[in-house]
Amino acid sequence: MKIDQHHLTYCSNIHPGESWSATKANLEKYLPEIKSKVVGNQPLAIGLRLSNEASLEILEKDQLPAFKRWLDENGFYVFTFNGFPYGGFHRQVVKDEVHTPDWTTPERKAYTLRLFDILAFLLAEGMDGGISTSPLSYRFWHPKPTDMDFAMQRSTEQIVEVAERLYEIYRRDGKLLHLDIEPEPDGLIENSTELISFFNNWLIPLGVPIFVKKFGITEEKAKQALKEHIRVCYDVCHFAVGFENHREVVAQLEKEGIKVGKIQISAALKVPIPVEISERKKVEKVLHPFVESTYLHQVVGKKENGALKSYRDLPDALITLAETKLTEWRIHFHVPIFLGTYGKLESTQGDIIEVLSLAKERNLTNHLEIETYTWEVLPESIHLSLGESISRELLWTIEKLNS
């Protein structure tokens, strides 16, 4: 839906199902209910997530044109995809395999280019289109500096190839498409510093000579083209987990000429660490229902002096709770954005409010997508019906955008 200059949607990766038939069935089941509750007769946007399997199936026979007709006839439109999860994403162990295949592989590039072909066909008239993608790889798969350099080099080469295709589409058809890289805890790119380093030390040095030679343009034009088609997916939860200052990050991105392609509206768990051992035991008890086997839930803790300490998953942090000198934890667990507190726990809802304010103030992007994919693994105490939860998140966000 359109709110001022922004288009707001929710990410369909909240729905289980890897085949196109399962994906389509979920959209047909939930979208009419959500549309009725949230926008009535106005158009409703969909943030589409297609697995690799579904992206292949939708291109068979007449399925893609048929889906486009269904969207048009029912008042739905598409402007963004979530191209991060490639394979199974629900009801199985995902953990670090969410990064598989990573950007060092031909499979990741082929999948992403296929998604862009689909998005270009579905894209609403007059809009730019974006696809969010992984932070290149999972950092612990590359323990040596030489491993890390190889992963950065190979990933960047493939991303430049994607940028070439997107630039060709723009010159041929006038459709502006962009790949939005999503920093994530323990990703090869996990924070704003590493993101800016990727652009300045990898993407631009590798990409500019290729664009100059292939397209016969100046170095400055090549740099502009790369930054037009390769952007940032600003996942609020991920930046909040890293205790990033959003205003400072936005200022730094603007200074470097790096564009935000999409803001993913998401909340992390925030845990103030009590001083008393008895109170820490209560916090531990409240956190145990959030320990689950599907996703990684990285934890970043902050000391009184501002120093940060990271844990690969929530159980790794919990075993240190009794003795830790940290004063606050942030947990990579996407919780419903309309709740600010969960008993003794809190959320980073305040970060969302700040980023939405910045989005309006700085005109960061017109793409806004709510992403709370953990619905199936939420503790029972905060588990609403799926349609109700999505509708409440959309309505809460609309209220904040209008305030």
How far apart are alpha carbons 279 and 353 in whole angstroms?
29
Structure tokens at 194: 């590493």
- Residue closest to 6 by CA, chosen among 394, 247, 365: 365
Residue 275: exposed, middle, or buried by beta-carbon count in 10 A (0-12, 13-18, 19+)?
A: exposed
Give me the half-sphere count of Cα atoms (radius 13 Å) on the Cβ side of residue 108.
Answer: 25
Which pLDDT value is given to residue 17? 80
Q: What is the pLDDT along the chain (403 residues), one digit of tens a residue?
A: 899 899 999 999 888 788 999 999 999 999 999 999 999 999 999 999 999 999 999 999 999 999 999 999 999 999 999 999 998 654 456 789 899 999 999 999 999 999 999 999 999 989 999 999 999 999 999 999 999 999 999 999 999 999 999 999 999 999 999 999 999 999 999 999 999 999 999 999 999 999 999 999 999 999 999 999 999 999 999 999 999 999 999 999 999 999 999 999 999 999 999 999 999 999 999 999 899 888 899 999 999 999 999 999 999 999 999 999 999 999 999 999 998 998 889 999 999 999 999 999 999 999 999 998 666 666 776 667 788 889 999 999 999 999 8
How far apart are alpha carbons 253 and 367 in whole angstroms?
17
CB 386, CB 100: distance < 8 Å? no
Q: Measured at the alpha carbon of residue 343, what is the angle toward residues 337 and 348, in degrees to the nearest 5? A: 35
Q: Which segments within 134-238 are labelled E, that is strand?
A: 177-181, 230-235
- Phi/psi region, residue 249 (left: phi>0; alpha: psi -120 to 50; beta: rest), is alpha
Which pLDDT value is given to residue 383? 65
How far apart are alpha carbons 331 and 241 in whole angstroms?
6
2-266+348-402: CATH topology:
TIM Barrel (3.20.20)
How far apart are alpha carbons 66 and 72 in whole angstroms?
10
Give me the half-sphere count of Cα atoms (radius 13 Å) on the Cβ side of residue 59.
Answer: 15
Which pLDDT value is given to residue 89? 54
How far apart are alpha carbons 88 and 92 in whole angstroms?
7
Q: Sketch the domain layout of the chain as residue ranges.
A: 2-266+348-402
Which pLDDT value is given to residue 342? 81
Which pLDDT value is given to residue 13? 82
| 169: CB partners within 8 A, 6+ apart | 116, 120, 175, 177
Structure tokens at 262: 């999409």
* Residue 99 identity (one-letter amino acid): H
